[in-house]
Amino acid sequence: MLVYRIATGATLIAALVAVLILDERFAPWYPFWFLTSSVVMLASAMEVVGLLSATGVKPSGNTVFGGLLAIIIANWAPHIALYFGSGSSHLLPYDAAAAATVLAWPLWAFVAVLMLSFLGQGAQFQVPGAAMSTVAATVLATAYVGLLGSFIIQFRWLEGPHDGLIPLALLIATAKGADTGAYTVGRLAGRRKLIPRLSPNKTVEGAIGGLAFAVVATLIVVASARSAGITTFSWLTAVGFGLIVGLAAQLGDLMESMIKRDCARKDASATLPGFGGVLDVMDSLLFAGPVAYGYWLAFGP
C-alpha cells in the first residue's frame, strides 16, 4: 500500500508540475490548467454522486456535471474579460476586494445550478417523497466540489512572480504535507484514536505529525522561493500558514471520511492505487483552499 501510495503521489506531482510549466506561455488562458481542473473536479463530483446514491439519495448527475462545468468556466471568465479589457494584463490584482469580486463569477454559476435544480425537479414531479432530497443532494455535490474547488483554481491568477505558482505551491505542499505526516506518523506511532466514529484509523499522534509536516512543507517552499529571489511569507507568517492550512487540510480529510462512513464505503473509488479515489486525494485541498486563499490575501507579500 505504501509503495503504491508513493508511486502514485510522485506521478501526480510530476504531472502537475508539467501542466503548470507548459501553461506559463498561455496566460491567461491556461488551457492545461483548465483541462486538469475539469478532469479532477468532474471525477471528484462523479465519486460524490456515487457515494450519495449509495445512501438512497439520488442527486441529478446531469445537473451536477453540467453545473460543475459551468462553475469551472466561470472561474476563467473574469480573467479572460480582464485580459481583453486591459489589452495585456491577466493577473488578479493583489487586493482582497478584487479577489472577492472575481469569486462572484463561479458563485453566480452556482446560483444558476441551485435554481435549475428546483426547476428540474418541479418539471419532473410526480409523487411526494423524493424531490427535495434530490435537490439537496445535487446542490451539496456541486457546492462541495465546485465552490470549494474554485478557490484552488483561482490561485493560478494571483499577482506575483510566476503568476500564482508560489501560492499554489504553498497550498498543495502544505495540504499534502499534512496528509503525508498524518498518515506516516499515524502508522508509525499512532496510539490514541482521534475521532473513531468518523475515521477509525486516524490518531491524535498522526494529527500532530500532520501539522508538523505541514509547517515543514511550507518552510521548504518559502526557503526555495527566497533562494530564487522571490518575495513571499516571512518565517513567522509561514509557520502560521502551515499550522492553519495544515489543520484545515486535516479537517477536510476527516469530513470526507465522515461522508464515506455515512455511505458505508472505505474509499470514494479505486481510481488511484494507494489512495482510493480522486476525491480521497482532493478532500484535504477542498477544505484547505479557501483558508489558504484568505490567508495569502491577508498576509501575503
| pLDDT, position 94 | 52
| pLDDT, position 264 | 82
Closest C-alpha to 59, from 147, 144, 131, 164: 131
Separation CA 103–CA 149 (nearest Å): 11
Closest C-alpha to 231, from 294, 167, 173, 295: 167
For residue 155, what is the DSSP state?
Answer: G
Q: Give me the mean pLDDT over the 179-207 stretch.
A: 86
Closest C-alpha to 253, from 288, 284, 213: 284
pLDDT of 199 above 70: yes
Cis before residue 31, ω within 30 degrees of 0? no
Neighbours of 116 (CB within 10 A): 16
| pLDDT, position 238 | 96
Q: What are phi and psi of 193, to 5 degrees?
A: -70, 140
* Cβ-contact 106, 157 below 8 angstroms: no
Q: What are phi and psi of 49, to 5 degrees?
A: -60, -45
* pLDDT tens digit sequence for 65-119: 999 999 999 999 888 877 676 555 555 555 556 777 889 999 999 999 999 999 9
Cell of 289: 483552499
pLDDT of 161 above 60: no
SS3 category, 201: coil
* pLDDT tens digit sequence for 5-41: 667 767 777 888 888 888 878 877 889 999 999 999 9
Q: Give me the mean pLDDT over the 148-176 stretch.
A: 85
| pLDDT, position 24 | 79
Q: Specify the long-range contacts of residues 103-108, CB closer than 8 Å, at least 24 apart.
A: 103/150, 103/151, 103/154, 105/74, 105/75, 105/77, 105/78, 106/71, 106/74, 106/75, 106/146, 106/147, 106/150, 107/147, 108/74
Separation CA 240–CA 295 (nearest Å): 9
